[in-house]
């Protein structure tokens, strides 16, 4: 039998328990594996799911499927998200020696916080199937701290039918190709973009990430900014950002700052525009509104170098980690191996949990073209990193404010770059 508890903001801040049964209970209350075999010793694995509140309901189906193969392992899961901050809850459990057997964290900064508690997972079979983006980010001091839950990627989601109507037969990989596509769409009476510039993370985290990630060594560039040895104002890729912003704001409907990410989904799904700057996390909402729409992903092409600009930003949102001294360490590993390495578990992760695998050996079909394209770009090595996780605290919002002032024509782009540099130095101190 498995149980799940979901904590989150459900209409009002609330605790919503989710319970469901799994396996066959014997008259004595134990678990039978079927076929008249001897009852197996039951083990319970506690699984803390951080942030992914959307996993609350479908996780019951995942664990039920797992119990078909492993009826002797009970998985009790707890989902903390949807408005509830999971970090203090997990930190308290670490301090009190009560960490879950499996939990989820979101990358390098958390590896350093929880590293002393985590098992080295480098001996698990699934490691041989990491995509490059996964392999680069999962280690700390030579130890494999976590197994990526999935990958996420973004770019310009585009309507393939509208592109075909405009006579566009190639996915743009350079700025001039993207510009030509916008011109062809406009000439065919099709609105090229819904900007999304009214949403802070569209203008900041995701769009501003591109010049950061386009550097020869993005990590070194961030370190140089922190040390005052580099500036955005003097960097060609940040200067190139102006033409990308101008292309979008001059080829959208109405005021670009009045369009947020909800409007992007609505107008794109109704096929009133050909492109929106978003990622695979919007795929389900678009398909709910328009199940027949044919979509793909176009890079945010910043330059004329296709090898550099023909890539999409892809990152790892979460990692599965295992507590090293857990009394059910082996069973925790069994569950993760099933989820990531066995066909039944892979199907549950990719389809039931709607996740793009961070591994190269999943044989699944996705409902929409966005997820398929994120995976295809990743398999081809045509990705760039998410750098906004390395920005100073508070910089994302400040950068969005500055870029929105430029979009509103209140400052020049040179002024915007100078202010982006000044804000970085102020917040990095």
Asked if residue 181 is part of any domain, the answer here is: yes
Reading the block at residue 282, the tokens are: 């919007």
Q: Are residues 144 and 15 in the same domain?
A: yes
> 125 pLDDT band (50/70/90 cuts)?
very high
The answer as to whether 100 is a domain residue is yes
* CA proximity to 171, closest of 309, 375, 365: 309
Domain shared by 89 and 215, yes or no: no
Determine, yes or no, domain membership for 368.
no
393 part of a folded domain: yes
- Please give the full DSSP string across 303-366, using - where no structure is assigned: SS-HHHHS-EEEE---EEEEBTT-TTHHHHHHHHHHHHHSHHHHHIIIIIS--B-SBS------
pLDDT digits (tens, 9 = 90+) for 282-332: 998 899 999 999 999 999 999 999 999 999 999 998 999 999 999 999 999
**Segment among 45-54, 71-80, 331-340 with least mean pLDDT:** 45-54
pLDDT average, residue stretch 150-156: 95
Q: What is the mean pLDDT of residues 36-63?
A: 87
One domain, residues 198 and 123: no
Q: Are 147 and 157 in a shared domain?
A: no
Is the domain of 164 the same as that of 302? yes
282 shares its domain with 337: no
Query: Is there a domain that residue 390 lies in?
Result: yes
Spell out the residues 6+ positions from residue 385 whose beta carbon is closer than 8 angstroms to its own: 133, 136, 213, 218, 313, 314, 315
What's the mean pLDDT in 13-28? 31
Q: How confident is the model at residue 37 (pLDDT cuts 50, 70, 90)?
A: low
Please tell me whether residue 228 adopts helix, strand or coil conformation.
coil
Assign residue 61 the CATH number of its domain: 3.40.190.10
Same domain, 207 and 249: yes
Looking at residue 130, the DSSP 8-state letter turns out to be: B
Residue numbers of the domain that contains 179: 153-315+385-428
Rounded to an integer, the average pLDDT of 186-210 is 96
Task: Indicate if 110 and 202 belong to the same structural domain.
Answer: no
366 lies in a domain? no
- For residue 369, being part of any structural domain is answered with no
Answer yes or no: do 111 and 81 share one domain: yes
Decide which of 315 and 19 is more confident: 315
Confidence at residue 158, expressed as pLDDT on a 0 to 100 scale: 98
Query: How many domains does the chain contain in total?
Result: 2
Sign of the four-CA dihedral 389, 391, 394, 395 = negative
Q: Give the least confident one: 173-182, 231-240, 344-353.
A: 344-353
pLDDT band at 20 (very low <50, low <70, confident <90, very high): very low
Average pLDDT on 217-232 reads 96
Query: Residue 13: what pLDDT?
Result: 29
Is there a domain that residue 269 lies in? Answer: yes
Are both 216 and 249 inside the same structural domain?
Answer: yes
Among 27-41, 163-177, 204-218, the range scoring the smallest mean pLDDT is 27-41
Residues 158 and 304 in one domain: yes
Q: Does 344 lie in the same domain as 398? A: no
Rounded average pLDDT over 186-202? 97
């Amino acid at each position: 039998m498995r149980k799940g508890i979901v904590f989150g903001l459900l209409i009002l801040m609330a605790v919503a328990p989710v319970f469901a049964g799994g396996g066959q209970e014997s008259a004595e209350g134990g678990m039978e594996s079927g076929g008249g075999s001897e009852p197996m010793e039951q083990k319970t694995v506690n699984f803390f799911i951080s942030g992914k509140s959307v996993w609350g309901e479908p996780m019951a189906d995942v664990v039920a499927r797992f119990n078909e193969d492993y009826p002797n392992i009970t998985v009790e899961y707890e989902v903390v998200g949807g408005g509830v901050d999971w970090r203090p809850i997990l930190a308290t459990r670490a301090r009190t020696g009560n960490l879950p057997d499996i939990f989820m964290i979101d990358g390098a900064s958390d590896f350093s916080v929880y590293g002393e508690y985590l098992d080295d997972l480098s001996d698990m079979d699934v490691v041989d199937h990491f995509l490059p983006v996964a392999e680069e980010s999962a280690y700390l001091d030579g130890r494999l701290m976590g197994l990526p839950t999935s990958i996420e990627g973004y770019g310009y989601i585009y309507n393939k039918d509208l592109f075909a109507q405009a006579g566009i037969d190639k996915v743009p990989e350079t700025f001039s190709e993207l510009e030509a596509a916008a011109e062809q769409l406009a000439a065919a009476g099709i609105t090229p973009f819904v900007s999304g510039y009214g949403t802070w993370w569209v203008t900041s985290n995701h769009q501003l990430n591109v010049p950061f990630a386009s550097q020869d060594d993005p990590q070194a560039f961030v370190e140089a900014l922190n040390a005052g040895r580099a500036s955005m104002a003097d960097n060609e890729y940040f200067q190139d950002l102006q033409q990308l912003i101008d292309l979008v704001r001059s080829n959208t409907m109405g005021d670009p700052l009045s369009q947020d990410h909800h409007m992007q989904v609505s107008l794109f799904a109704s096929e009133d525009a050909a492109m929106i700057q978003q990622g695979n996390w919007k795929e389900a909402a678009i398909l709910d509104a328009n199940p027949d729409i044919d979509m793909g992903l176009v890079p945010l092409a910043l330059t004329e170098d296709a090898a550099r600009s023909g890539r999409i930003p892809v990152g790892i949102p979460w990692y599965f980690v295992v507590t090293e001294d857990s009394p059910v360490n082996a069973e925790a590993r069994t569950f993760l191996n099933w989820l990531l390495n066995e066909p039944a578990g892979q199907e549950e992760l990719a389809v039931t949990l709607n996740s793009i695998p961070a591994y190269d050996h999943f044989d699944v079909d996705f409902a929409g073209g966005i997820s398929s394209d994120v995976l295809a770009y990743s398999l081809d090595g045509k990705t760039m990193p998410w750098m906004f996780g390395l920005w100073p605290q508070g910089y994302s919002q400040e950068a969005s404010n500055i870029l929105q002032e430029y979009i509103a024509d209140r400052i020049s782009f040179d002024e915007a770059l100078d202010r982006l540099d000044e804000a970085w130095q102020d917040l990095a101190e």
